[in-house]
Amino acid sequence: MTNKYDLEPGDVVSVRFAGVLRHYGVVTFGGRIVSNNGERGGVISQTFEEFAQGREVQVDPRRSSADGYHAHHHAHRRLGHDYHLAGSNCIDFARHATRRSPTVSQYARGTFETLKDMFRR
């Protein structure tokens, strides 16, 4: 499990939910995590504990020292925006806030992990 003290602004974090899916958020300054949460109706800021809800947190570290500032800025600009499953969900939010595009290997890994979890049950 990731320790909240190991996180830096700009890190993309995720937790598993509904068995096979993942919920993504972006770490900002002050150790808060901003995510687009369908259950809460849109983009919110949470503590590490509120985001994790007792689940294991995985982290995708930021790519450069500049990413932390930009991710914080872009994430906070979206606070209060609505959640939409198609086009404005937690994955789209994390990619927008960190200005990252998923690579082909990330798509493949995500598909593989989802299939693996589905067959594990």
Instruction: Report the mean per-residue pLDDT for the chain.
Output: 78
For the whole model, what pTM was predicted? 0.71
Per the structure block, which two tokens stand in for 1? 């499990």
Q: What share of the chain is helix, strand, coil (3-state, %, to 5)?
A: 40, 25, 35
The residue segments making up the domain with residue 66 are: 4-120
Number of domains in the chain: 1
Look up the CATH number of the domain holding residue 23: 3.90.1720.10
Residue 9, CA atoms < 13 Å, CB-side half-sphere: 15
Residue 48 banded pLDDT, cuts 50, 70, 90: very high
Residue 83 in contact with residue 36, Cβ under 8 Å?
Answer: yes
